[in-house]
Structure 1
Amino acid sequence: MSLRNGTKQGTVRIGVLGLGRIAQHMGETLSAMHKDPRYSQLVEPYACATRNDEARARNYADTFGFTKAYGSYEQLLDDPEVDLVYIATPHVFHKDQAIAAMQHGKNVLVEKAFTLNAQQARLVIEESQDTRLLCAEAIWTRYMPSRTLLVQALESGVIGDVVQMHADLSYPLTHKQRLVDPALGGGILLDCGIYALNFGGMIYPNANVTRMLSNVVMSPEGVDRTFQASAVLSNGVLTSSSASMLCASPRLGIIQGTKGYIIVGNINNPEYIDVYAADHTLIQRITPPEQLTGYEYEVAAAAQAVLDGRIECVQMPHSQTIHMLEAMDGLRADWAMRYPDER
């Protein structure tokens, strides 16, 4: 199968738009994938672009083995050899950049949070439906093998019927200007809280939220810096999620059932899944497979979707992206928190 722009059979050429911190991890990932026989024929680290700094783009390209380096986003989008654009800019820019990329005929993989809110997400997804181009949210835990391992453990019935679960992801992050700036979609919710909320969402993707309550501590700048939220799902499971930019946390995910419980070490990149009986006896430790960086799974899923001609990834379909953003919209409505772009 060949891509329509004439790339070699079965290989998806990837362009990285925005070269901040998360893009450094993606560069490392794509470089490692290109050298790994499992992925070397699937993806190619082809192009990268900054907003207006070609020298910085060239340094990135040289570091991670990209062929092309551009000093503007428009140049990358105009390159006919780019098949898939990974958007690595702050949340506030995702909507316009994703739409622009698709209007240039590019498939897109958009770093979480997909957009600022569900309304923006619908506009992006409408463009995907109109152009029939892939548009996927890059929230890496949804694509990892650890998700499948966790779901399999729950479906085995080893801890009985799930009653409640909790997830927290907190780091001291107030030193990062992006996170305290409302104009850039700041706050802990879209950065770390999204993982805590997705912990339950990826286990029960077909369950709806029937009721949600929350508390928040706001910053002087007007963004959320600590929050806790609890929700009752339509399947009867009680979930709670929390995140903070003021402190560190154990980053645990805890799932409690009628016969035992499961503890997931580091919900942001699971290191182990420990299964306990009701008497607190450790039954099993499940260890996810060794990975390159952890980002390779979302890249491989997106690249394969492009080759298959699909407009969404099964691991994180459009409906789930909107569902999670609606939940976060609901929380921010409770907090009377709006970003400048929403006013």
Structure 2
Amino acid sequence: MSERNGTHSGTVNVAILGCGRIARHMAQTLRGMSQDDRYADLIRPYAVATRSDEARAREFADQYGFPHAYGSYADMLADPEIDLVYIATPHALHADQAIACMTAGKNVLVEKSFTANERQAQRVLDVARETGLLCTEAIWTRYMPSRQLILDAIESGAIGTPRQVYANLSYPVSAKARMVDPAMAGGALLDVGVYPINFIAMAFPDARIQRTISSCTLTDRGVDEQFSATFWLDNGVSATIDSSMVSVGSRQGVIQGDNGYLIVENINNPERIDVFDKDHRSVNTIDVPEQITGYEYQVVSAAHAILEGRGECTEMPHTETLRIMRIMDSLREQWGEVYPFEREMASGTEG
């Protein structure tokens, strides 16, 4: 990426930090974008790094067409050609890794949940402000065209005045070690529960929570296995969400008004929006645009922000990242769920 007259122009070189499942999903996306006329001049799949396994990084790079592979994060961050780092590691590692990237002069796209708690998030965003670099959360639904389609359906008046919302996301993923590890900020909330929370926040962007009631089941290691919560919003809407890491859920988002309702199929990656009248008759089906994987929208937004010299993306501004983290902190407080590193910080023993 070159710099002319104080403004950036050219192609954004993207690196991936981590080689897990979600990193592979991003790699597939970047490869697809590099072969798509809409995005080929904007982004370039450039590098991947593991913590300490160069052979694994090289295998990953060869599979997805990345020209550079690094066997340590430090080696990757020393590469001056990298413009944007996508952080694809467990939640508990995001804060330190994002700060290391920005300290090395790299813009960051940080996988959800942004950090393990609001305190960590604020620390990351303080560094973003100090460095002037882009720092944005990779909660992909925030960047998808379906977000505006849902808002348009609500604002069309087809369902009348919204009064109730229900949103679910549940997957049986407790077999994954990080999901049940409190040291990695495991549990359903930060991994899958974050999506129903964001669904409500996107559907009613100007509303704020007035009251919350929630409950959860904790594992024997002290992380939330499944939970439900009801939020009363200041616009008169009550919103109920649930998530689980031990069951298969409907993945639906249902917004109910006084004249009808709409159903979003798969709030994690919306497939369509079905609108019904008060007599439960289908009145409209709204399809979402075809996509490479759905990850491309957040990459495009991050790339444009970098080229325009912005420190955040409009789709997920820093204030919203902090607000969502604050909501999740408040739920864990109700449940008595505290991560080990939070206890260490509170006792002053954190190294």
Shared fold (TM-score, shorter chain, > 0.5): yes
Cα deviation, residue 205, structure 1: 2.4
Retained in 2: the 8 A contact 1:212–1:229?
Answer: yes
**Residue 170 in 1 paired to residue 170 in 2?**
yes
Where does residue 96 of structure 1 map in the other structure? 96
Where does residue 192 of structure 2 map in the other structure? 192
3-state SS, counterpart of residue 212 of structure 1: strand
> Cα RMSD between the aligned structures?
1.4
Q: 1:137 to 1:3 in 2, by over 3 A?
A: farther
Structure 2 unaligned runs (5+)?
Answer: 344-351
Retained in 1: the 8 A contact 2:9–2:307?
Answer: no
Where does residue 325 of structure 2 map in the other structure? 325
- Residue-by-residue CA offset, 1:19-57 (whole Å, 9 max, x unaligned): 111000000000000000000000000011000000110
> Which residue type is aligned with residue 164 of structure 1?
Q
- Residue-by-residue CA offset, 1:233-258 (whole Å, 9 max, x unaligned): 12221111100111101110000011
- Residue-by-residue CA offset, 1:244-298 (whole Å, 9 max, x unaligned): 1111011100000111000000110011100000100101100101100010001
- Residue-by-residue CA offset, 1:147-206 (whole Å, 9 max, x unaligned): 111111111111111101010001111211110010111000000000011110112223
3-state SS, counterpart of residue 169 of structure 1: strand
Where does residue 297 of structure 1 map in the other structure? 297
3-state SS, counterpart of residue 170 of structure 2: coil
Cα deviation, residue 341, structure 1: 1.2
Once the two structures are superposed, the pairs formed by residues 178-327 of structure 1 within 5 Å of their partners are: 178-327=178-327
Structure 1 residues 203-212 or 217-226, which shifts more? 203-212
3-state SS, counterpart of residue 125 of structure 1: helix
Retained in 2: the 8 A contact 1:108–1:135?
Answer: yes
> Which residue type is aligned with residue 48 of structure 1?
V
Return the alpha-carbon distance in structure 2 between the equivalents of residues 72 and 206 of structure 1: 43
Cα deviation, residue 3, structure 1: 4.1
- Residue-by-residue CA offset, 1:127-161 (whole Å, 9 max, x unaligned): 11111100000000111111111111111111111
> Which residue type is aligned with residue 72 of structure 1?
S
Structure 1 unaligned runs (5+)?
Answer: none
> Which residue type is aligned with residue 169 of structure 2?
L
Retained in 2: the 8 A contact 1:205–1:320?
Answer: no
Where does residue 150 of structure 1 map in the other structure? 150
Q: 1:3 to 1:275 in 2, by over 3 A?
A: farther
Where does residue 347 of structure 2 map in the other structure? none
3-state SS, counterpart of residue 147 of structure 1: helix
> Which residue type is aligned with residue 305 of structure 1?
A
Cα deviation, residue 66, structure 1: 0.7
Once the two structures are superposed, the pairs formed by residues 98-137 of structure 1 within 5 Å of their partners are: 98-137=98-137
Structure 2 length as normaliser, TM-score?
Answer: 0.95
Once the two structures are superposed, the pairs formed by residues 331-342 of structure 1 within 5 Å of their partners are: 331-342=331-342
Return the alpha-carbon distance in structure 2 between the equivalents of residues 281 and 36 of structure 1: 40
Report percent identity of matched pairs. 55
Deviating above 3 A after TM superposition, structure 1's stretches of 4 or more consecutive aligned residues are 1-4
Cα deviation, residue 10, structure 1: 2.3
Where does residue 64 of structure 1 map in the other structure? 64
Structure 1 length as normaliser, TM-score?
Answer: 0.98
Retained in 2: the 8 A contact 1:3–1:307?
Answer: no
Once the two structures are superposed, the pairs formed by residues 4-15 of structure 1 within 5 Å of their partners are: 9-15=9-15
3-state SS, counterpart of residue 249 of structure 1: coil
3-state SS, counterpart of residue 220 of structure 1: coil
Retained in 2: the 8 A contact 1:252–1:266?
Answer: yes
Return the alpha-carbon distance in structure 1 between the equivalents of residues 169 and 31 of structure 2: 28
Return the alpha-carbon distance in structure 1 between the equivalents of residues 124 and 204 of structure 2: 25
**Residue 45 in 1 paired to residue 45 in 2?**
yes
Q: 1:30 to 1:3 in 2, by over 3 A?
A: farther
